[in-house]
């Protein structure tokens, strides 16, 4: 195995799924009892499964987590709660922005592992592909639930995606 590549992928994906869990926790804190609460809970449950799998992969591959987890804990919750304070459309706009960033990131990882050796990375590729598909589903759910109707949607989406790219960059390295 190309240890640096595997370590970086598992570390950043664990951080991303951890952050996604915190975002949904923040959204549920604000909108959990609203009509959109069950939908947010459903997406959060999938993210919990993703995090559990990356927790297992970190142990199996002996990868250390990013030292930024305490920061992602707070930042994710604040992002989720703040977007939810804009209402259902704000929460869905956040979901669209984050899930689009993550699915693009997963696609990049899939390309990297396919170029390395698809057979050698079969298990990891299978996990990443499945989670990418789940993230695309969450993205589409957000669009179906009026994400684009959020206040300043384009600016909000751009800002959140910039934050996602920064989080990915840092979590791969630190």
pLDDT digits (tens, 9 = 90+) for 20-57: 999 999 999 999 999 999 999 999 999 999 999 999 99
Percent of the chain with pLDDT over 70: 100
Cβ–Cβ contacts within 10 Å for residue 99, how many? 25
Mean pLDDT across the chain, nearest whole number?
97
Topology (CATH level 3) of domain 3-172:
Ferritin (1.20.1260)
- This prediction has a pTM of 0.96
Rounded alpha-carbon distances, angstroms, from residue 111 to 51, 77, 80, 105, 118: 22, 31, 30, 10, 9
> For 84-102, what is the mean pLDDT?
98
CA atoms within 13 A on the CB side of 120: 11
């Amino acid at each position: 195995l190309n240890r640096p590549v595997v370590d970086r992928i598992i570390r950043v994906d664990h951080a991303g799924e951890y952050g996604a869990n915190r975002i949904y926790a923040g959204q549920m804190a604000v909108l959990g009892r609203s009509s959109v609460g069950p939908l947010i809970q459903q997406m959060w449950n999938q993210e919990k499964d993703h995090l559990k799998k990356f927790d297992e992969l970190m142990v199996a591959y002996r990868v250390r987590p990013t030292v930024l987890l305490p920061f992602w804990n707070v930042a994710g919750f604040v992002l989720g709660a703040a977007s939810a304070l804009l209402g259902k459309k704000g929460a869905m706009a956040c979901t669209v922005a984050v899930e689009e960033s993550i699915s693009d990131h997963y696609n990049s990882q899939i390309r990297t592992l396919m170029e390395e050796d698809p057979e050698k990375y079969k298990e990891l590729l299978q996990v990443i592909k499945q989670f990418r598909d789940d993230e695309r589903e969450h993205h589409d759910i957000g669009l179906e639930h009026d994400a684009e109707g959020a206040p300043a949607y384009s600016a909000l989406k751009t800002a959140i995606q910039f934050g996602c790219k920064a989080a990915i960059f840092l979590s791969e390295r630190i």
